[in-house]
Amino acid sequence: MSQPMTANHPTLAIKRLDGLLDWAQMLTGVGLIAFMWAHMLLVGSVLASPAIMNAIAAFFEESGMAQVGGPLIFALFLAHFVLAARKIPFRLEGQKTIWEHARLIHHADTWLWVVQAASAMVILIMGAIHMWAVLSELPIHALKCAETLQKNKWWLAFYLLLAPLVHVHLGIGLYRIAVKWGFAKRADRKGLKRFVYALILVSVGISVLTLFRFWFMEA
């Protein structure tokens, strides 16, 4: 006959730790979602006027927020990846199993998780390159961004891939947070998905327009 688990039982301790790590993963994810949307809007201000973007960038530079905030965001980025990596299969056998399960059950939420996990691996590498490039070339200036893209077309291709991946990952992450933590009930999921898909399209649209604004900006 099995004995009831006490408060000090190892299994309960493991479950409690796993729950705390899930909370930390959720909170770091929310923080990154908020930062990336703010980042998109701040850089996207160049669509209204390069002077507006320069003024915002100058404020962050002169206040020291860029120098301090940049490394903090990078640390948050790495922490979120480490926390999320607990649920991502890195072995080929595990990846094949997840893929087969997704194909067999034809469940939309499972496919969303597959897309999010796959995009995370690419974003980890490309996001680190982006942050290193930006933080090593402070201060940020609209003309400097334009010159970088115009002088090397590979940077344009780089960001045309990175920006959609980031916003797809953020959108799916927002959806999964809402579902997992009970903010969206089963009856709400269809409407939430439509909202998230629309949000992804708008975010990707703003990001792509911003890139081409830099591309066509005159020196």
Residue 3 lies in a domain: no
Share of the chain above pLDDT 90, in %: 17
Q: Where are the beta strands (DSSP E) in the chain?
A: none
Contact 130, 190 (CB under 8 A): no
Residue 20 lies in a domain: no
141 is in an annotated binding site: no
Dist. CA 217–CA 31, nearest whole Å: 32
Where in the sequence is the domain holding 60, given as residue range(s)?
29-215
Contact 203, 171 (CB under 8 A): yes
pLDDT given for residue 1 in this prediction:
46
Residue 15 lies in a domain: no
Regions of the chain with pLDDT less than 50: 1
106 is in an annotated binding site: no
pLDDT given for residue 158 in this prediction:
93
pLDDT given for residue 167 in this prediction:
93
130 is in an annotated binding site: yes
CATH of the domain at 163: 1.20.1300.10
CA 1 to chain centre: 48
Q: What pTM was estimated for this model as a whole?
A: 0.80
Residue 116 lies in a domain: yes
169 is in an annotated binding site: yes
Domain count, the chain: 1
Residue 22 lies in a domain: no
Residue 8 lies in a domain: no
Residue 140 lies in a domain: yes
Residue 21 lies in a domain: no
Contact 127, 163 (CB under 8 A): no
